[in-house]
Amino acid sequence: MEHIKTKNWTVNPSLLDREIIRQAAEIIKKGGLVAFPTETVYGLGANGLDSKAVASIYRAKGRPSDNPLILHVADTGMVKELSADLPQKALLLMKLFWPGPLTLVVPKAKHIPVEVTGGLDTVAVRMPDHPVALALIRASGVPIAAPSANQSGLPSPTTAEHVKADLQGRIDAILDGGPAGLGLESTVLDITSPVPVILRPGGVTYEQLKDVLSDIIIDPSVLGQKLPKDQVPRSPGMKYRHYAPTSPVILFEGEPQRVKATITERAGKLLDQGQKVGILVSEEHIQGYPTQAKILTMGSRTNPASAAAELFKRLREFDQLQVNVILAEGIETTGIGLAVMNRLRRASVEKLQC
């Protein structure tokens, strides 16, 4: 891929520089690529109605082209032009959760390029809750197609530095608006079937959605497979991994004290073999692990939002520390903990039930 000179712009979300937004919007209008902050993670944006521009997103990320993209809108009016037949539920959900971390999968309108939908007859739409993202969409005057702004397969970027590390020289511009707040991607909810299905858990929780839509299903792939303690763990092929750092992640779930004991034992063995070991722990467990290991904390057990905000950042830090393996503590799957555990399970090469 040819080298592009990437512009790096800093924008203050509470005091927008209109001139920078205007220039970034010009790039989008001309078919270029701009990374921008949202309240979940950074996105890599292109004009969602321009097939060529959308195709270049896949090239920049190294993303498989059958994985469809989300169209980002600045108001609910834009959605009506993107959906052939907007379900009643959409109106209620948009009213309650937009702007915010909820992506709705709805029937697509004819004019949406096949590059956006990956050939499906549905399209994913969301209105981000971030002043920079909203200003960019408004100034561009088009829906912005945007996946997370990372190299395909790596953890999603929660800061502009992460975007730079992955995409500098491959895209036209990066808007740095400070760290993304939530740290994990939006919830993807398919409302094209009579009973809505959560395809990806995220910022809007299952419990919040269940309160509004009494009938709702979590897609079985969301939770992955759990292994009994004595069973030999399977190592799924790389193609099933996602959100993953370069170092392999081994995930330990179950009763917290048993998790800690099992990780301690495994870490000891690996350290004896001369391995460089990383351990991802909750704040409550920072004491007592082998001190030769690289220990990073991921929020508190009683506050899964703090784990969500730190997970991707920590996984990238372990790569910088060049550990050979990351042993990670699981947390409970209530609230946003479900999204945290979905990402950790998908990132891991081995999962143990303790």
Between 116 and 263, CB nearer to ligand TXA = 116
8 A C-beta contact, residue 43 and residue 36: yes
CA–CA distance, 126 with 217 (Å, rounded to integer): 20
In the complex, minimum distance from the CB of residue 127 to ligand TXA, in angstroms, rounded to a whole number: 10
**Helical segments of 177-251, H only:** 206-212
Between 41 and 296, CB nearer to ligand TXA = 41
Amino acid at 303: N
DSSP 221: G
Does residue 174 belong to the site contacting ligand TXA (CB under 6 A)? no
Within 55-84, the residues that bind ligand TXA by CB under 6 A are 67-70
Q: Residue 201 binds which entry of ligand TXA, Mg ion, none, with Cβ cut-offs from 5 to 8 Å by kind?
A: none
Does residue 199 belong to the site contacting ligand TXA (CB under 6 A)? yes
Task: Please report, to the nearest 10 degrees, the dihedral formed by the alpha carbons of residues 316, 318, 321, 327 taken in order.
Answer: -170
Count other C-beta atoms under 10 Å from residue 64's C-beta: 11
Between 148 and 247, CB nearer to Mg ion = 148
Q: Residue 124 binds which entry of Mg ion, ligand TXA, none, with Cβ cut-offs from 5 to 8 Å by kind?
A: ligand TXA
Within 86-125, the residues that bind ligand TXA by CB under 6 A are 101, 103, 105, 117, 120, 122-124
CA–CA distance, 189 with 306 (Å, rounded to integer): 23
**How many Å separate Cα 146 from the centre of its chain?**
11
Element (H, E) at 115: helix 114-117
Between 125 and 327, CB nearer to ligand TXA = 125
Residue whose CB is nearest to Mg ion in the complex, by number: 148
Nearest to 130 by CA among 120, 144, 119: 144
In the complex, minimum distance from the CB of residue 115 to Mg ion, in angstroms, rounded to a whole number: 16
Q: Site map for ligand TXA, 257-286, x if CB under 6 A?
A: ------------------------------
CA–CA distance, 181 with 305 (Å, rounded to integer): 10
Does residue 176 belong to the site contacting ligand TXA (CB under 6 A)? no
Please give the residue ranges that form the binding site for ligand TXA (CB under 6 A).
Answer: 38, 40-41, 43, 67-70, 101, 103, 105, 117, 120, 122-124, 126, 128, 146-148, 185-186, 188, 199-200
